[in-house]
Structure 1
Amino acid sequence: MPLPVRTVPTTPFEGQKPGTSGLRKRVVVFQQDRYTENFVQAIFTAMPAPGPRGATLVVGGDGRYFMTEAVQKIVRIGAANGVARFIIGQNGILSTPAASALIRSRQADGGIILTASHNPGGPQNDFGIKYNTRNGGPAPESVTDAIYEATCTISEYVEADLGAPIDLATIGTQSFDGLEVEVVDSVEDYVALTKSIFDLELIRSFCAANPKFTMLFDALNGVTGPYGRRIFVDELGFPESSLDQCTPLEDFGGSHPDPNLTYAHKLVERVASEKVALGAASDGDGDRNMVLSHDWFVTPSDSVALIAHHAAACIPYFKRNGINGLARSMPTSCAIDRVAAAKGLPVFEVPTGWKFFGNLMDAGRLSICGEESFGTGSDHIREKDGIWAVVAWLNIIAHVNQTTPGASVRSIMLDFFKAYGRNYFTRYDYEEVDADGAAKMMARLRALAAGEDGGLVGRSYSGYTVAKVDDFEYTDPVDQSVSSKQGLRIIFADSSRIIFRLSGTGSEGATVRIYIERYDPMQFELDTQAALKPLVHAALDISQLEAYTGRKDPTVIT
């Protein structure tokens, strides 16, 4: 006998348009009667053919407040829409990269990931829901547009009566009429994948021979704590003291789980005071990373370029498969472009959003990529992967030390700069600014880019002359889809760049991001902010940001 299903009349909610990483709102918004149900039903309505009937879906999230309640809603609504099998992380826990890996390894039809990524959690903070397709990556715009359309026209949703909530704590399969729910170890499949990619034996041998090499991994009370323990302690042999804040908490311990110099200040302070050789952090859902040492901070732009430089020589996955191409998001520094040129590899510049990398990976054209927003990854999955990046650094350090004993994060980066020069890079974030003011600022910049009021080309600011201005537009080389208005770029005569974007990752207001970059072929150890100060002044002068937003100082500088 099939499960009993009830139909619930409903009406649309405004503003349920998924951004680059799904729908993110305050928890209290998702807790409104029918709000979460509407969006989940819209996902099933818009699922690519053949749709939800008979499908297998992976479900899990970063452990934030409201997650387990949302899992139960998804199972009930999914069962009523004909989903045949759910694969769920134990206690609902799955990092975003682990969910992508599970979708791919189990050949699932997609997955629903419950996260607001690096945003704060807890009853008064953020929650999020995003849909990943069967390649394991975030849904493309054609699918998110269909989801949004469904939210605008929804008149009812359906849910099955399972008799009792799903037991999320017990590993194993629970069977219902026409439905199976498998609860899996949240970490096991991901660890197996990691062991197939990296030379863990080389890392273990290096650490055993160099007991003074210390590591500190800070999960920021997010989802990667259990993953870090299994890999860094159980597999690689680092002591338990190498871990900090590695218990996932619903509110991330009241902190902001964003791995940057501002929000991961505890890690930064400990790495400096304890002279740690490799410090690392990940964000709430595990797809971002930060790497540093007691005497060097590795920018995300430099990190992906450095990994691309070394990967084929020391990481088994790339030794086996080769490197098909490299890519970066448009605002990310051009350091990886220099690696691609030196190695004769194609390089792609895409809009912000990991789904743009996924198309290239599926077409066999891309192997390693990154975003300046602390996201790094490869074609082993279709999401950025924080733990992957940290293990890649360990693999590279161990490899370089075979020929250069005593090589450190600092010395490895300086050797890289000697080969390629240095792209000094910073990002200024102005979070939760007035959305109307930010939109007016961007409209003015776009008008200047179009040549109004004399335009910007030929003008000089802080000694830099504008050579080109455009609003970045991307034509996907695989499916020919076009993404426009992806960021206002100002390129100067010496190749320095200033980029302005409005970000869609916040839950309230607007976030203005300003990206600033300058290439130096000779000087590698300048203070980044000092090196870029004239361009920062130029950016503020050109944008008139304070006049439009009322904000004088950025929330975060990275």
Structure 2
Amino acid sequence: MSERAGTPAQESDLIDVTALVAAYYALKPDVSIPAQRVAFGTSGHRGSSLNTAFNENHIAATTQAIVEYRAEQGITGPLFIGADTHALSAPAYTTALEVLVANNVRVLVDEFDDYVPTPALSHAILAYNRAGHGDEADGIVVTPSHNPPMDGGFKYNPPHGGPADGDATSWIAARANELIAHGMRDVKMSEPSAVEAYDFRGAYVDDLENIIDMQAIKASGIRIGADPLGGASVGYWGAIRDRYELNLTVVNPKVDATWRFMTLDWDGKIRMDPSSPSAMASVLAHQHDYDILTGNDADADRHGIVTPDAGLMNPNHFLAVAIDYLYSHRDQWPAKAEIGKTLVSSSMIDRVAAALDRPLWEVPVGFKWFVPGLLDGSVAFGGEESAGASFVRFDGTVWTTDKDGILLALLAAEILAVTGKTPSQRYAELAEQFGAPAYARVDAAATPAQKAALGKLSGSDVAATMLAGEEIIAKLSHSPGNGAAIGGLKVVTENAWFAARPSGTEDVYKIYAESFKGAEHLAEVQREAKAIVDAAIA
């Protein structure tokens, strides 16, 4: 934790936007260097132009690879494209258009030249494909999500509307790196003309009444504060207020590629993470000015919920409350619709699911795993501990297959409007009923070889039979929901669990842990978890 965490950014913390954009065009990657290759993580290719990790050749080659991928898959419909407010998003967006147009792809861009949140793009893809045009649409979101201002990001969403799966991203990344290695000679580029307009904002905002009880929020008159944190939702919150006549204030409508108005995150960096108390410190200053106060990250796929009585809610706590409320207040949802959670999300969700008599669908880390269930309605809610979630409409049909931070922020307002209780007050009731778990994530040092070993572990590699004084009842290397590999390990007891996963960017592995027996027991779980993992990967 940096000693400056939660304090206002200073001039020395700010990026040089001119230098950042200049480097985007000037620096050319060498794909023989791993750090300069196109590499898709859980949400696209990310990096900084200053490190030659996100540059014009990367984006041109990746877009060309997407063109070839969609042709191979028989995707002949339009491609929706949008971008967030990061400094590198605008040049990357232009590069992508130059390639798409040169390849004769039908491209739909925002009608008002506005920023496009990730959920609005997912919504657009699904709306087009649901209408039955005889072809299928897909999309590109230019965003590194909540990453610091120096980063850029580029994500492909196929016709299912959600994040591309590993097969697709591996193919696209490999082809992009091949194109770069061959001197970009097979990449087509031209002036970005001949694009079509689409009203992302209007289509999304007008449809909200089919998934959120906007009339209840309006009738309640509750005071809502929405802070876009300088991100792509900045134009959406005002439109939502006006369309549904809500008592809503856009707390900070500023957009600045340096994010000079932010407070520093836990490590002293500017990061637009609405689930971080440090990053949200300036928002929390308004905690008592509103009945519900919310924040979104740069592409609005994450949410932060602030209440007058408790401040910023832990994301796990809000997920539990959201699930409890939705499955009790959505009468048209299928009786067998499952509750989706990632395996590092709180076991409070398991206990809420059991009380609701609803099946739980536990999957590995990454929102992409929820896509099939949300698409066919077999999973009515999918959420992950990093403050990302989406759910289905009142009638049980798909809304988005990507995370929707705007939607979850509005749900917090609906919960208060309908129940008269803030989400944090409702969580206190759940904790009284089921117990109050202590949850934390810590990092442990690991060599590349040890990280590789961790990613390949199976439950049988764990010799331990006890964890922090309790019998181990499960040792998981594959998720119970869909059988997919965890890429690590999860160990479970009656009242506690831990999961260990290798970091994709640092020489550490992450230990997620939770205990329903208090903070001291959690610390014991963490200590023993490290010993168990270290022994298994030695």
TM-score when normalising by structure 1: 0.77
1:384 is displaced (CA, Å) by 1.1
Between the aligned partners of 1:518 and 1:287, the Cα distance in structure 2 is 28
Kindly provide the CA deviation profile for residues 159-198 of structure 1, in whole angstroms up to 9, marking residues without a partner as x: 3533xx55xxxxxxxxx4xxxx123344211111212211
Q: Residues 221-300 of structure 1: matches in 2 within 5 Å?
A: 221-232=230-241, 235-240=244-249, 243-253=250-260, 255-267=270-282, 269-272=284-287, 274=288, 276-296=290-310, 297-300=312-315
Pair 1:112-2:125 in alignment: no
In structure 2, the partner of 1:535 is: 525
Between the aligned partners of 1:36 and 1:537, the Cα distance in structure 2 is 43
Contact kept, 8 Å, 2:146 with 2:299, in 1: the verdict is: yes
Q: 2:160 aligned to 135, 139, 152, which one?
A: 135
The one-letter code matched in structure 2 to 1:443 is A
Kindly provide the CA deviation profile for residues 352-407 of structure 1, in whole angstroms up to 9, marking residues without a partner as x: 11111001223331111100011121131101111111111111111112xxxxx3
Contact kept, 8 Å, 2:294 with 2:409, in 1: the verdict is: yes
In structure 1, the partner of 2:426 is: 412
1:278 is displaced (CA, Å) by 2.3
Between the aligned partners of 2:472 and 2:328, the Cα distance in structure 1 is 40
Q: 2:475 aligned to 469, 477, 485, which one?
A: 469
Q: Find the residue that maps to 1:387 and give its secondary structure.
A: helix
The one-letter code matched in structure 1 to 2:226 is F
Contact kept, 8 Å, 1:326 with 1:347, in 2: the verdict is: yes
Contact kept, 8 Å, 1:259 with 1:288, in 2: the verdict is: yes
In structure 2, the partner of 1:203 is: 217
Contact kept, 8 Å, 2:451 with 2:508, in 1: the verdict is: no
Between the aligned partners of 1:465 and 1:438, the Cα distance in structure 2 is 31
1:475 is displaced (CA, Å) by 7.5
Between the aligned partners of 2:467 and 2:388, the Cα distance in structure 1 is 33
Kindly provide the CA deviation profile for residues 494-514 of structure 1, in whole angstroms up to 9, marking residues without a partner as x: 34101112344xxx5356432
Q: How has the CA–CA distance of structure 1 residues 490 and 225 changed in structure 2, closer, same or farther, with 3 Å as cutoff?
A: same
In structure 2, the partner of 1:500 is: 500
In structure 2, the partner of 1:484 is: 485
Q: How has the CA–CA distance of structure 1 residues 71 and 370 changed in structure 2, closer, same or farther, with 3 Å as cutoff?
A: same
The one-letter code matched in structure 2 to 1:484 is A
Between the aligned partners of 1:339 and 1:358, the Cα distance in structure 2 is 22
Contact kept, 8 Å, 2:227 with 2:283, in 1: the verdict is: no
Contact kept, 8 Å, 2:301 with 2:402, in 1: the verdict is: yes
Structure number with higher strand proportion? 1
Pair 1:356-2:369 in alignment: yes
Pair 1:375-2:418 in alignment: no
Between the aligned partners of 1:474 and 1:46, the Cα distance in structure 2 is 31
Q: Residues 159-178 of structure 1: matches in 2 within 5 Å?
A: 159-162=188-191, 165-166=192-193, 176=194
Between the aligned partners of 2:211 and 2:85, the Cα distance in structure 1 is 27
In structure 2, the partner of 1:150 is: 175
Q: How has the CA–CA distance of structure 1 residues 83 and 276 changed in structure 2, closer, same or farther, with 3 Å as cutoff?
A: same
Contact kept, 8 Å, 1:378 with 1:384, in 2: the verdict is: no
- In the alignment of these two chains, the number of paired residues is 479
Contact kept, 8 Å, 1:300 with 1:376, in 2: the verdict is: no
Between the aligned partners of 2:31 and 2:74, the Cα distance in structure 1 is 22
Between the aligned partners of 2:202 and 2:520, the Cα distance in structure 1 is 45
Contact kept, 8 Å, 2:226 with 2:248, in 1: the verdict is: no
In structure 1, the partner of 2:105 is: 83
1:329 is displaced (CA, Å) by 0.7
Contact kept, 8 Å, 2:145 with 2:297, in 1: the verdict is: yes
CA RMSD of aligned residues (A): 3.2
In structure 2, the partner of 1:525 is: none
The one-letter code matched in structure 2 to 1:45 is E
Contact kept, 8 Å, 1:61 with 1:95, in 2: the verdict is: yes
Pair 1:400-2:419 in alignment: yes
List gaps (5 residues or longer) in structure 2. Answer: 1-28, 130-135, 263-269, 393-398
Pair 1:437-2:447 in alignment: yes
Contact kept, 8 Å, 2:220 with 2:417, in 1: the verdict is: yes
The one-letter code matched in structure 2 to 1:283 is D
Contact kept, 8 Å, 2:318 with 2:424, in 1: the verdict is: no
Q: Find the residue that maps to 1:285 and give its secondary structure.
A: coil
In structure 2, the partner of 1:524 is: none
Pair 1:39-2:92 in alignment: no
Between the aligned partners of 1:331 and 1:371, the Cα distance in structure 2 is 8
Q: How has the CA–CA distance of structure 1 residues 538 and 349 changed in structure 2, closer, same or farther, with 3 Å as cutoff?
A: same
Q: Find the residue that maps to 1:264 and give its secondary structure.
A: coil
1:66 is displaced (CA, Å) by 2.0
Q: Find the residue that maps to 1:65 and give its secondary structure.
A: coil
Contact kept, 8 Å, 1:64 with 1:252, in 2: the verdict is: no
Q: Find the residue that maps to 2:66 and give its secondary structure.
A: helix
Contact kept, 8 Å, 1:220 with 1:282, in 2: the verdict is: yes
Contact kept, 8 Å, 1:81 with 1:158, in 2: the verdict is: no
Kindly provide the CA deviation profile for residues 402-436 of structure 1, in whole angstroms up to 9, marking residues without a partner as x: xxxxx333332222334444443233368xx7xx6
1:136 is displaced (CA, Å) by 0.8
The one-letter code matched in structure 2 to 1:334 is S
Q: How has the CA–CA distance of structure 1 residues 205 and 368 changed in structure 2, closer, same or farther, with 3 Å as cutoff?
A: same
Contact kept, 8 Å, 1:325 with 1:365, in 2: the verdict is: yes
Q: How has the CA–CA distance of structure 1 residues 62 and 410 changed in structure 2, closer, same or farther, with 3 Å as cutoff?
A: same
1:247 is displaced (CA, Å) by 2.8
Aligned-residue sequence identity (percent) comes to 23
Between the aligned partners of 2:495 and 2:428, the Cα distance in structure 1 is 22
In structure 2, the partner of 1:517 is: 514
Kindly provide the CA deviation profile for residues 514-534 of structure 1, in whole angstroms up to 9, marking residues without a partner as x: 2111236xxxxxxx7566333
Between the aligned partners of 1:512 and 1:306, the Cα distance in structure 2 is 30
TM-score when normalising by structure 2: 0.79
Q: Find the residue that maps to 2:340 and give its secondary structure.
A: strand
Q: Find the residue that maps to 1:367 and give its secondary structure.
A: strand
Between the aligned partners of 2:527 and 2:223, the Cα distance in structure 1 is 39
Contact kept, 8 Å, 1:55 with 1:85, in 2: the verdict is: no
List gaps (5 residues or longer) in structure 1. Answer: 1-9, 167-175, 208-212, 402-406, 477-481, 521-527, 549-558
Pair 1:384-2:403 in alignment: yes
Q: Find the residue that maps to 1:221 and give its secondary structure.
A: coil
In structure 2, the partner of 1:553 is: none
Contact kept, 8 Å, 1:327 with 1:336, in 2: the verdict is: no
